[in-house]
């Protein structure tokens, strides 16, 4: 997620766009050597803020790590950031909030830090535009019966993904809030998608990343893993084979919709557990599954600012809020505005292979257009007979 990304290719085909230039945070791009010294010496989090300010310390949580780890005000947003240099969070930096710090500027050998930088509007003449603004994740707090943010060990699929990653906040260890490994884990599919109350569409990626997380959790912890699903949609190359592999590993599949996640226990064996109350359509009855951790596979949804971006670039949005392509079969990359193309999940939910394929196609279309040098603009008004 992150800030909306709008990519520009080419110059001189009479398309002019004004867009806010996303500052990298008071760091001179032309001078910075990306050594990381400023982030290393940043005192916030390393000292007691009460020594230099009357405010109580407030932890700064990493957006990239799904707020599971702290970060400094001087930080690289994520490992593959472009440009891959530190940014300064003005809202959290002690220098900007109190004026009592400036260690990062003093330590910078390249003299790349400039606290006097201001936001600016950059005007760029381009020949084509690729809109690749991505998606947002559905906030499961809207489904209060699932207990997200009420129960410590109910987490989203993104939080589980960062936890499982070897570069994540737990170095790949799957742990509960108390630091112990879970013995029973439930993965709930279709949270916010395929639901008339929220999003009716399928988010496409949830089944496969649920299977992948089940496989890795089983491998790392040996826990009993339960998959609560409506339908398993393993549509891609090799996906059905992976589904069979995970099934053979002993993952428990329960076909049915989860009604509630609660900490209200009945028999003694449920004490200290989270209880997933769900329907098993194959058994034709309601069941209670006691687990230590619940992972909610949340829906992919349009960016919150999708309507604003649509207004800027004269794009259409479908009923689901995603940008509409020119034709869903003949031209799935183009839009009704000539020279503007779509790539990735801004057009609809899709997995990584489909996103890469669409991005390559959009880039090829954009380059094909700008190499023409000049193109005729489409008619905007109808001609009057006899003129």
222-265 per-position pLDDT tens digit: 999 999 999 999 989 999 999 999 999 999 999 999 999 999 98
Could you give the residue ranges of the DSSP H alpha helices within 179-317? 206-221, 239-248, 306-313
Higher pLDDT, residue 101 or 297: 297
pLDDT confidence bin for 23, thresholds 50/70/90: very low
Exposure pattern of 173-207 as b/e (b: 16+ CB <10 Å)?
Answer: ebeeeeeebbebbbbbbbbbbbbeebbebbbbbbb
Q: Is 97 exposed, middle or buried (0-12, 13-18, 19+ CB in 10 A)?
A: middle
Radius of gyration from C-alpha coordinates of the chain: 25
Give residue 36's pLDDT.
84
pLDDT confidence bin for 372, thresholds 50/70/90: confident
Tokens standing for residue 118: 């201001």
Closest CA to 58 of 31, 86, 97: 97
Give residue 377's pLDDT.
66
What's the rounded Cα separation, in Å, for the pair 31 and 24? 13
Give residue 387's pLDDT.
58
Peptide bond into 83 cis (omega under 30): yes
- % of the chain beyond a pLDDT of 90: 63
Which domains are assigned to the chain? Answer: 1-20+121-135+302-387 (3.50.50.60), 22-119 (no CATH), 137-300 (3.50.50.60)
Q: Is 283 exposed, middle or buried (0-12, 13-18, 19+ CB in 10 A)?
A: exposed
pLDDT exceeds cutoff 50 at 175:
yes
pLDDT exceeds cutoff 80 at 375:
no
pLDDT confidence bin for 56, thresholds 50/70/90: low
Cβ atoms 72, 59 nearer than 8 A: no
Least confident of 24-33, 269-278, 318-327: 24-33
User: In whole numbers, what is the pLDDT of the chain averaged over residues?
Assistant: 87
Name the DSSP class of 183: S
The model carries a pTM of 0.86
What's the rounded Cα separation, in Å, for the pair 111 and 109? 6
Closest CA to 108 of 23, 34, 46, 45: 34
Q: Which residues contact 251 (CB under 8 A, 6 or more apart)?
A: 211, 214, 215, 218, 225, 226, 227
Q: Which residues contact 126 (CB under 8 A, 6 or more apart)?
A: 8, 9, 10, 11, 13, 15, 16, 17
């Amino acid at each position: 997620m992150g800030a909306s990304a709008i990519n520009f290719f080419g110059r001189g085909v009479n398309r002019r766009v004004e867009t806010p230039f996303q500052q990298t945070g008071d760091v001179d791009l032309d001078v910075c050597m990306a050594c990381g010294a400023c982030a290393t010496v940043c005192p916030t989090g390393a000292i007691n803020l009460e020594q230099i300010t009357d405010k109580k310390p407030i932890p700064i949580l990493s957006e990239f790590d799904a707020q599971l780890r702290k970060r400094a005000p001087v930080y690289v947003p994520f490992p593959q950031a472009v440009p891959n240099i530190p940014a300064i969070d003005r809202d959290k930096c002690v220098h900007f909030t109190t004026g009592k710090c400036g260690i990062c500027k003093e330590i910078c050998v390249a003299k790349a830090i400039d606290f006097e930088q201001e936001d600016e509007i950059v005007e760029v003449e381009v020949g084509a535009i690729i809109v690749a603004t991505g998606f947002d994740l559905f906030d499961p707090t809207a489904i209060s019966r699932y207990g997200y943010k009420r129960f410590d060990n109910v987490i989203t699929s993104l939080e589980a993904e960062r936890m499982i990653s070897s570069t994540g906040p737990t170095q790949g260890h799957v742990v509960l809030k108390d630091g112990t490994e879970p013995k029973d884990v439930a993965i709930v599919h279709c949270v916010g998608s395929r639901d008339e109350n929220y999003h009716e569409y399928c988010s496409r990626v949830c089944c496969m990343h649920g299977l992948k997380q089940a496989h890795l959790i089983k491998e790392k912890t040996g826990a009993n893993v339960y998959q609560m699903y409506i339908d398993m949609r393993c549509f891609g190359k090799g996906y059905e084979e992976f589904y069979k592999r995970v099934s053979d590993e002993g993952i428990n599949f329960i076909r049915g919709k989860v009604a509630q996640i609660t900490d209200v226990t009945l028999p003694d064996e449920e004490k200290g557990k989270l209880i997933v109350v769900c329907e098993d359509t194959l058994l034709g009855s309601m069941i209670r599954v006691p687990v230590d951790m619940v992972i909610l596979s949340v829906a992919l949804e349009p960016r919150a600012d999708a309507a604003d971006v649509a207004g800027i670039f004269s794009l259409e949005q479908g009923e689901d809020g995603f940008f509409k392509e020119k034709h869903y079969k003949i031209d799935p990359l183009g839009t009704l505005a000539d020279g503007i193309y779509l790539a990735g999940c801004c057009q609809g939910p899709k997995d990584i292979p489909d996103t890469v394929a669409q991005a390559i196609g959009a880039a090829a279309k954009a380059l094909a257009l700008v190499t023409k040098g000049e193109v005729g603009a489409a008619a905007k008004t109808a001609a009057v007979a006899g003129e």
